[in-house]
Structure 1
Amino acid sequence: MEPDPSIAFISGETGKTNRDQRIKGGNGDDHFSDTESNCVNGDDDDDDDCPEDAKANGFGHPFGWYLLLLDRHPVATKAVTSAFLTLFGDFICQIFIEKDGKINFSRLVIFTLLGLVLVGPTLHFWYLNLNKFIQGPGTVKVSVRLVLDQLLFSPIFIGIFLSALMTLEGHSSEIAPKLKHDWLGIVLANWKIWIPFQFLNFLLVPQQLQVLAANVIALVWNTYLSFAAHKDVMPQRDSITS
């Protein structure tokens, strides 16, 4: 929205797995050879049988299947990943921060749903097009991507997320005051967390793994976002229902 060891499994020049390992099927689809599948599954007892490129790209590594899913089904994989991150973020918020003594499952489902259908797919296409529009490494280009990401995209997306959340929770009448009082504070918190992280993300992490890398920080961010999104709104809801 951190580089980790998994970036070594992806070509740093293209941000995509090395497709030279694949064989072309009759229907035009890409398929991994049996040897490569064994490397992915970790079934090959002899590492010497695994293609060097396959080992370099992380097949046989615990994250091999996840990287394969990212390559074959990027939108769905990132959407499901985002759903889990929003689910755990809201769960942590309710249990350890708000400490209400019980889980609001309706809120949990809605927050998770937004991660699945809004956050994951949107971030995928945003980063994809951002990297196509501003290509290449270098501090200047990374800085331009960072400015567009944080000063243009993030403030707008935070507003959209808050509006969607409150609408699904049945509090659309509170959207305007919520945005007026809390939107700027959330945006500022977003900048404090994401600007230094995203600079490293854009500079060091291949495009295909940028959303995955951001997930490391996203759990912390989603926990904060859940708290900030529901702060000062819950007392109003209680008074309305009482």
Structure 2
Amino acid sequence: MGPRGFFKIYQDLLVRRPYFVQAVQTGVLMAAGDVISQSAVEKTPLTSIDVARTLRFSSIGFFVVGPVMRFWYGILAKHIGRTGKTVALKKVFFDQVFFAPCILCVILIAIAVLKGKNVEAVKEELKLNYLDVLITSYTIWPFVQIFNFYFVPLHYQVLLVQTVALFWNTYLSWKTQRKRMLEKIKKLE
């Protein structure tokens, strides 16, 4: 099967099962971001990748981020509109002011909980990472979302965002594991 055949199957599935397709692609891309973080950024050999960590990160994409993003983009399309410059700018405003801070908080909490952290440790992780991650997101996502909401049809918007998010997920994975890496380095000293 060639690329056209694969794309046709993807389009058909996207129309019939949009939430499932968005969940799968988000989970896969979050897993890829975590593997890139471990191998390229943290310099972990591929044979020593923390598979459990990758599965935890991926599950957040599959069960939370993908479906929630698809739902959110549908809400924006329904209540704000689908096309036009003003519509795109309004969507970016609502996305960045309301959705981004909330979804980042949910993701950071989910990462900490899936690592087995208790409530106090989750709060500490949020203090350590949330503001920094949110500020970094504002240097990237408003520009991506302007393009996304203005040029990309609704059913491909999550795919575009998740493609860009491959790099974002790499950063997010690294950022949320940084404290753990520093603790490992101290133990080695």
Judge same fold: TM > 0.5, yes or no: yes
- Whether 1:160 and 2:106 are equivalent positions in the alignment is yes
What displacement does 1:130 show? 1.2
Higher gyration radius (CA): 1
What displacement does 1:237 show? 7.8
What letter corresponds to residue 19 of structure 2 in structure 1?
Answer: V
What letter corresponds to residue 14 of structure 2 in structure 1?
Answer: L
- What residue number does 2:140 align with? 193
Picking from 42, 46, 51, the partner of 1:105 is 51
Using CA pairs under 8 Å that are at least 6 residues apart, name the structure with larger relative contact order, 1 or 2.
2
- Whether 1:232 and 2:189 are equivalent positions in the alignment is no
Picking from 183, 198, 202, the partner of 2:130 is 183
1:45-194 correspondence runs (5 A): 60=4, 62-101=6-45, 102-172=48-118, 173-194=120-141
Structure with a larger share of its residues in helix: 2
Structure 1 length-normalised TM: 0.70
Total equivalences in the alignment: 184
Picking from 197, 207, 210, the partner of 2:154 is 207
2:148 and 2:157 in contact (8 A); partners too: yes
Give the whole-Å Cα distance in 1 for the aligned partners of 2:95 and 2:5. Answer: 31
Output one character per residue of 1:7-57: Cα deviation in whole Å (capped at 9) or x when no partner. Answer: xxxxxxxxxxxxxxxxxxxxxxxxxxxxxxxxxx88xxxxxxxxxxxxxxx
Distance 1:170 1:236, change over 3 A: farther
- Of all paired residues, the percent bearing the same amino acid is 33
- What residue number does 1:33 align with? none
Cα-Cα RMSD: 2.2
2:29 and 2:163 in contact (8 A); partners too: no
Give the whole-Å Cα distance in 2 for the aligned partners of 1:169 and 1:239. Answer: 20
Runs of 4 or more, structure 1, over 2 Å off, are 233-240
Secondary structure (helix, strand or coil) at the match of 2:179 reads coil
Give the whole-Å Cα distance in 2 for the aligned partners of 1:158 and 1:106. Answer: 21
Give the whole-Å Cα distance in 2 for the aligned partners of 1:136 and 1:84. Answer: 27
Give the whole-Å Cα distance in 1 for the aligned partners of 2:81 and 2:57. Answer: 33
Give the whole-Å Cα distance in 1 for the aligned partners of 2:56 and 2:186. Answer: 22
What displacement does 1:153 show? 0.5
Output one character per residue of 1:88-141: Cα deviation in whole Å (capped at 9) or x when no partner. Answer: 110010011011342112111111111110111111101111111101422222
Structure 2 length-normalised TM: 0.89
Gaps of 5+ in 1: 1-40, 43-59
Gaps of 5+ in 2: none
